[in-house]
Amino acid sequence: MFTKKQPKTKNLIQDSFEKVAELGIDTARQAVGEITKTFNPIVANFENPTRREREKGNQNFSDLDFNKLQKQYDHQDSSKLDAVRSQIGGEENTPNPKQQEYDYHHRVKREEEEYLAKKEQEEEEEKRQEAYEEQEKARLEQERQRSQSQSAPKGKIRKSILGGKGNQKSTTGLPPEFRPDSGKQ
């Protein structure tokens, strides 16, 4: 018999401890709620104003559905949060590895094409520059040949009576020479 009474006392003790624990948890929850109401002045501003007006007897307005408003605000906030997450590059919007490889391949291919186009353009520019230099060289050569073929003008040749070659008059536009010490003294 003694063994039978022991489990009953255990159950009684366990039950009483459970009741005390539950009471403590409930009391703690209520205390937290009361403390936040007491020390949080913002909560007092968010009371339902329609309830106060109805208590006074004013029935000339419709009730606001605060739950519906809260859901709308949450929806707006969630869309803004999604936009910010996508800008930051959150975990939800990370592309799969195959997509990353594909993007990398296309970026490298585009860069190679741009490099080749730039190199080809530089080569064409060099060819144009060389052709222009050759043209300029040929033009200068032609001018030099013309100037040599059109050497200084010969001028009139006086024939001598004796049948010699004769003297040439210079018709170049050179000014006469002036010697500083030659002249009348």
Provide the residue ranges of all domains of the chain, joining segments of one domain with +: 8-65, 96-142
* Binned average pLDDT, 10 residues per bin, the chain of 185 residues: 54 79 84 74 64 74 77 82 76 68 90 96 96 96 83 64 61 66 65
Q: How far apart are CA 13 and CA 5, in angstroms?
A: 12
Sign of CA dihedral 145, 146, 149, 154: negative
Residue 50 identity (one-letter amino acid): T
pLDDT at res. 107: 92
pLDDT at res. 11: 75
pLDDT at res. 174: 64
- pTM (2 decimals)? 0.29
Neighbours of 9 (CB within 10 A): 9
Q: Tell me phi and psi for residue 160, to 5 degrees.
A: -90, 155
Bridge partners (DSSP) of residue 89 are none
pLDDT at res. 114: 96
